[in-house]
Amino acid sequence: MYLLMVIHLQLKLFTVGPVACYPQVLEEMGRQMFSHRSKDYIDLHKDLTFLLKEFLETEGEIFFFPSSGTGFMEASVRNCVERKMLICVNGSFGERYVEVARANGKEVVVLETQLGEPTMPDVLDDYLRRNPDVEAVAITHNETSVGLINPLEKLASVVKSHGKLLFVDAVSSMGGVDIKVDKWGIDVCFTSSQKCFGIPPGLAVASVSAEALKKSANMRNKGWYFDFILYKKYNEEFNVPTTPPIPQMLGLRRILRMIRDEWGGKYKYFELYRERNRIIREGVEKIGLTLFPRKGFESPTVSCINAPKGMSGDEVYEAMRARGFELARGYGKVRGKTFRIGNMGYIEFKDIYEMLKNLEEVVKSKS
């Protein structure tokens, strides 16, 4: 077991998920299992609910799904949209939201920007004025495919001014940047365990508002497995309708307690993410590389970088992997033209500097 861990840790992860896990998290996840109908589980569920409500600044329901974040993406559509919704698209994961909605028979108004460009509040306001019959708006907070973060607080204000439900894909932002769920009026805000919290994949987490639950209560043909009302019923006893990923939940409780009790609170944790990201962005620019998204809207958790002259993004990825660093390939329409460097999960500053040194050598070897 120890030998296997050593082998895997030799490859330093700068991926966009799954990411490297904190040692304390892996230790916690190594505990013997217990029944999800036992007091041990109820206590875990209760602790996590309190910690996440505090972290997200919400009085809404907290749900735990045995899935990736895409499970909540589909659940938001099935539980809260009868006919029509608006989806903001800045890249591949906004496109996925569109695919999910249409696969569930919903009519979709697509607000799509040029790749690398954010959704701006005035444009969203115009779309909502021209489409007053949409029931909800979906926004990808942090578009991982192009390394771009949208101005969520301002966009949320526009959505609420039109009286619409708001769904936020916070898969690669929750835990890395502040999200004030109730203050901003977010109705469904979801993430996956394998991103900013530095936990293995398998757990999806979301906050769900009273308005979203009200819509779900009267929704027909919404399915069973991801039914918000079913989860709310079990939540009343701090339980779940089906077997949950208990190890991931234990890991999440551990990291949230560490953030609160050992690392100075969530704002210190966000500061750590900003500093990692700053070092990476300044480092790649010093090498002579450029970032893909519009300046001022760069993601705080993943940098999308234009491939250097004479190399494809895939070639950079392969060359770095051969040196012991797992970055991330370009994704979707910009694959080959870009590569990505994530700064989520368990990363030490010395590893960032070592990675940048190797990246400079890779780039200069082809110049």
Which amino acid is located at 107 in the chain?
E
Question: Does residue 366 register a pLDDT over 80?
Answer: no
Interatomic CA distance for residues 79 and 162, integer angstroms: 20
Read off the pLDDT of residues 93-120 as tens digits, 9 standing for 90 and up.
Answer: 999 999 999 999 999 999 999 999 999 9
CA distance 316 to 257: 37
What is the helix (H) or strand (E) element at residue 207, kind and residue range? strand 204-208
Q: What is the mean pLDDT of residues 55-80?
A: 98
Average pLDDT over residues 185-191: 98
**CA-to-CA distance for 273 and 285, rounded, in angstroms?**
18
Q: How many CB atoms lie within 10 A of CB 236?
A: 8
Beta bridge partners of 87: 110, 138
CA angle 151, 155, 161 (to 5 degrees): 155
Percent of the chain whose predicted confidence (pLDDT) is above 90:
96
Confidence band, pLDDT 50/70/90 cuts, at residue 367: low
Whether 160 shows a pLDDT value over 90: the answer reads: yes
How crowded is the C-beta side of 312, counted as CA atoms within 13 Å? 9
Q: DSSP letters of 174-204?
A: BTTB---HHHHT-SEEEEETTSTT---SS-E
Asked if the model's pLDDT at residue 7 lies above 60, the reply is: no
To the nearest whole percent, how much of the chain has pLDDT over 70? 97
State yes or no: pLDDT of 6 exceeds 80: no
Express each pLDDT in 221-236 by its tens digit: 999 999 999 999 999 9
Model confidence at 5: pLDDT above 60: no
Average pLDDT, the chain: 96
Residue 239: what are its φ and ψ, rounded to 5°? -145, -175
Question: What's the pLDDT tens digit per position in 334-345?
Answer: 999 999 999 999
Could you write out the DSSP letters of every residue in 1-52?
A: -HHHHHHHHTSEE--SSS-PPPHHHHHHHTSPP--TTSHHHHHHHHHHHHHH
Contact 279, 222 (CB under 8 A): no
Rounded Cα distance, 90 and 88, in Å: 7
